[in-house]
A = this chain, B = another copy of it.
């Protein structure tokens, strides 16, 4: 097995692990082996994942955790705002790191399920303005563009989605 350098920034001071431990301590919760292992798995790389993805990764790395514990741990990570969850219309929820990440939005490819993040300060500013105008206190927002990525345009599924979309536009025009 070749040596693989890993930064493990999540274990450094100010990293996710420290935040998590502080959060647990504050409320008398315990840092168990299951929680430590899940935390490492989750924060070793930055990605979007479903509960099942994570469960599969656990099995792959011989980490024994039940789904119950897995969900319970995800729930804590949401509570302490280390993770956020999103619904991309696939049944299961997607989780992603947000600590230390600036606000961002997603493009979701309905063919490959690939997720691409993008940022836009202009949109951020516009959303703040809108909330202000409406008198809302914004606790967060979620913005997703659904569609077909460049790589998937020429797949059968991609072509089908595009054809269907164009047919609907014709309908709308009359």
* Interface contact B149-A135, CB-CB below 8 Å: yes
* Interface contact B146-A141, CB-CB below 8 Å: yes
Give the chain B neighbours of A142 by CB distance below 8 A. 142-144, 146
Q: Which one, A35-43, A56-64, A114-122, is touching chain B? A: A114-122
Q: Which residue of B14, B141, B147, B174 is within 8 Å of A136 (Cβ)?
A: B147
* Interface contact B146-A143, CB-CB below 8 Å: no
- Check if A68 is an interface residue, CB within 8 A of chain B: no
Give the chain B neighbours of A145 by CB distance below 8 A. 127, 130-131, 136, 138, 140-141
Q: Mark A125-140, 1 if CB is under 8 A from B, else 0.
A: 0110011001111111
Task: Name the residue on B nearest A85 (C-beta).
Answer: B89
- Check if A65 is an interface residue, CB within 8 A of chain B: no
How many chain A residues sit at the interface, stated as a range, is: 35 or more
What are 10 A-B pairs with beta-carbon distances under 8 A?
A: A81-B171, A107-B136, A109-B136, A110-B139, A116-B134, A122-B126, A123-B123, A136-B145, A137-B148, A143-B144
- Apart from A123-B123, A126-B126, A141-B146, what are 13 other A-B pairs with CB-CB below 8 Å? A80-B171, A107-B130, A118-B134, A123-B126, A127-B145, A131-B147, A136-B147, A136-B150, A137-B165, A138-B145, A138-B147, A142-B146, A143-B144
A interface with B by C-beta (< 8 Å): 14, 19, 80-81, 87, 89, 99, 107, 109-110, 116, 118, 120, 122-123, 126-127, 130-131, 134-150, 153, 161-162, 165, 168, 171-172, 174
